[in-house]
Chains A and B, each alone.
Chain A
Amino acid sequence: MNQTSDKKRGGKFWAWFWMILGILYFFLPLVATFLFSLRAKLGVLSFTAYQHVFNDSNFIYNFSYSVLWGVLTIIVGVLIFVPTAYLIRLKLPKFRLPVEFITMLPFVIPAIVYVFSLVRTFSQPPLLIVNSPALLVAGYVILSMPYMYSAIDTGLRAIDVQTLTEAGQSLGAGWGTILFKIILPNIRTAILSGAFLSFAIVIGELILAQYLVKPAFAPYMTYLIQQKAYEPAAMAIISFALTWAAMGIIQFIGRGSEQGQIAGGH
C-alpha cells in the first residue's frame, strides 16, 4: 500500500516536472517575442508596433490573400478528398493502399524540392500556367493533402458509412445528396480539423508563394524582417494568436459532437 502510493507520488512529481519543462519550452520564445514587440518606442513598453502592423496596407493586402488561398485550398481539398475517401471506404477497399501511399507522398518529398519541380513543370509549354493562381492553390492542396486526407478518413471511420448510404438510397437520395447532405455534415468535425491544419500550413508556407510571386503572408513577413525590427515580432505574435484561435475553434466544435455521428445507426 505504502509502496504504491510512494510510487504514485514519485510519478506525479515527474509528470509535473516534464509538464513544466514543456510549458517553458512552449512559452518562453513567445513571451520573448511579445516583449520584443512592445519595445518599438524607446524606453517604454507600447503597442506601437501592432498599430503599425494594422495600419500597414501591405500587411492587410498580403494577409487577406493568404486567407483567400487558405479558403480555396480547403474547398478544393474537401471536394476532391471527401468523395475519394468515401468511395474507398464504401466500395473500393482495393484502392486504399495506392491512394494512401499517394496522399503520404508530400511527407516524403521535401517541400522545397516539390515546389521547384512544380514550378519547373508548369513554366514551359504546353503546361504554361505558372502565372495562374490556380497553380498556387493546387500546390497548397497537395502540401496539405496528408493532413486533410487522413482527417477525413478518420472521420469516416467513426461513422457507419454503409448504413447511412443505404438509408439515403432507400429514401431515394442521389449520390450528390448522399455525399453533401448526409456524409459531409456527419464528418464536419473531422473536416474542420483538417481544414484548420491546412489553413495553418497555407498561412505559414513560404517558398511556394515566393517562387510563384504571389501575394501571401509568409513572404511578406520575410521581407519585413530585413527592413524592420519590431513589426515582424508583432506579426509573429499575431500569426500565432490566429493559429491558436483556429485550434481553439476546432476543440470547441469538436466538444459539441463527441457522440460522433449526428444521425443514423451506430
Chain B
Amino acid sequence: MTVQNVVEQGAPQARPASRKLSWAWLGLTPFFIFTFLFLLYPASTLGVRSFQDSRTHAFTFKYIVQLLHDPYLLGSYWISIKISVITALGGGLFGFLLAYSAIRGGLPKFMRSSLMTFCGVASNFAGVPLAFAFIALLSPSGELTKVLIALGFNPYHHGFTLYTFWGLSIVYMYFQFPLMVLIITPAIDGLRREWVEAAENLGASSFQYWRYVAFPILLPAILGAVVLLFGNSFGAFATAQALTGGQINLVTIVVGSQLRGDILSDPGLGYALALGMVVIMAFAIIARALLQQRTERWLR
C-alpha cells in the first residue's frame, strides 16, 4: 500500500519542472528501502563478519589466513570451480546446439515452442526433486542402470558413481542446458537469414560463414550466457546436498556446514568462505564485461 500512497502523493500537477524530480525520487524509495534492508545490508555484514572473530567480535585476519592456507578449503573452491566450468561449457554447447536446431534446423514449428516450455520447467527443476529423479535413474538400482546391466554393461563396474564429481556434473547439466536455451534464443533469432544467403552467394563455405559471420556476432551473447551458467552452478547447494548428503566438498556445502553452527563449525570461517565466493563471481562478471566490450566493439 505504501507504494500506492507514495505514488499518489505526487498526483499530476500542471507541470512544474522542479517538483517533478522530487516525486519521481519518492517513487523509487520503496525499492531502495526494501533492497537495502533485505539484500544490501545483510550482504554487507558478510564482509564485516569475515574479519570478525566469532567469539570475541574483535577484528581479525585469521579466517582469511586460514582460508588461504587450508588445502581442504582451497580444494573445495577448486571442486566448485571445476564443476561450474565443466557444466557451463558443456551445458552452454549442448544448449546452443539444441536452440539452434530448434530455431534454424528446419524442424516442425511446434518443436520450438515445446522446447521453450520444457526449458522453462527444467531450468527451475533443481534441488531435491531433481536429485531424486537422478537417483531413480542412475543409482545402482536405478532404472537406466538396470537396463544397462541387462545389456551387459554395469557402469558401476567401470568407475562411475552418481554420488561423486562426474555424477553430479550430469545432474547439474539438467538445469544448465535449458537455461542456455532460454538465454541464447533471442540472439539466435537475431541472426538474419539474409546473412547466410549473402555468404553463400559470395562463395563462403558453411565453416567460413560460422567462423567469420555468425560466431563473431553471437560471441558476446554466448560469453554472457556462459558466465550466467557458471554462476548458476557455482551457487547451487540443495541439489548437491540432497544427492550426496554433503559428501562432496563443494564450497557451498562447506559454507553450509560452517554456518550451521554445530560444535566443529566456525561461522566466521563460513562467512570468509562466502566472501571468497563473491570475489570469484565478481571476477567472472568483470571478465565477462571486458570480453563483451571487446567483442561488441564493432557491432553497431
Enumerate chain A interface residues (CB-CB to B < 8 A): 4, 7-8, 11-12, 14-16, 18-19, 21-22, 25-26, 28-33, 35-36, 79-81, 83-84, 87-88, 91-92, 95, 99, 102, 105-114, 116-118, 120-122, 138-139, 141-142, 145, 169, 173-176, 179-180, 197, 200-201, 204-207, 218, 221-222, 225, 232-233, 235-236, 239-240, 243-244, 247-248, 250-251
Smallest CB-CB A-B distances: 6 pairs: A15-B105, A110-B235, A15-B101, A29-B133, A32-B137, A113-B274
CB–CB A225/B128 < 8 A: yes
CB–CB B111/A19 < 8 A: yes
What is the bound-complex CA distance between A28 and B113, given in angstroms? 20
Contacts of B111 in A (CB 8 A): 19
What is the bound-complex CA distance between A12 and B129, given in angstroms? 34
Least CB distance, B229 to chain A, in whole angstroms: 11
Given A138-B38, A247-B120, are A236 and B129 also a contact pair (CB < 8 Å)?
A: yes
Contacts of A7 in B (CB 8 A): 206
Given A106-B39, A113-B278, A142-B39, are A19 and B234 also a contact pair (CB < 8 Å)?
A: no
Q: Which of A11, A29, A88, A102 contacts B136, CB < 8 Å?
A: A29
Size bin of chain B's contact surface: 35 or more
Cβ of B184 within 8 Å of any chain A Cβ, yes or no, is no
CB–CB A80/B101 < 8 A: no
Contacts of B113 in A (CB 8 A): 251
CB–CB A108/B285 < 8 A: yes
Please name 10 further chain A to chain B contacts, defined as beta carbons within 8 Å, in addition to the given A108-B278, A108-B285, sorted by A numbering.
A19-B98, A29-B133, A32-B143, A32-B144, A79-B30, A113-B255, A179-B4, A206-B242, A240-B121, A243-B124
What is the bound-complex CA distance between A35 and B237, given in angstroms? 27
Contacts of A92 in B (CB 8 A): 24-25, 28
Least CB distance, A114 to chain B, in whole angstroms: 7
Please classify the interface of chain B as helix (H, G, I), strand (E, B), loop, or mixed, using the class held by over half of its residues. helix
Enumerate chain B interface residues (CB-CB to A < 8 A): 3-4, 7-8, 10-12, 20, 24-25, 27-28, 30-31, 34-35, 37-43, 45-46, 49, 94, 97-98, 100-102, 105-107, 111, 113, 115-118, 120-122, 124-130, 132-134, 136-137, 142-144, 173-174, 177, 200, 206, 228, 231, 234-235, 237-238, 241-242, 252, 255-256, 259, 267, 270-271, 274, 277-278, 281-282, 285
What is the bound-complex CA distance between A25 and B178, given in angstroms? 11
CB–CB A26/B118 < 8 A: yes
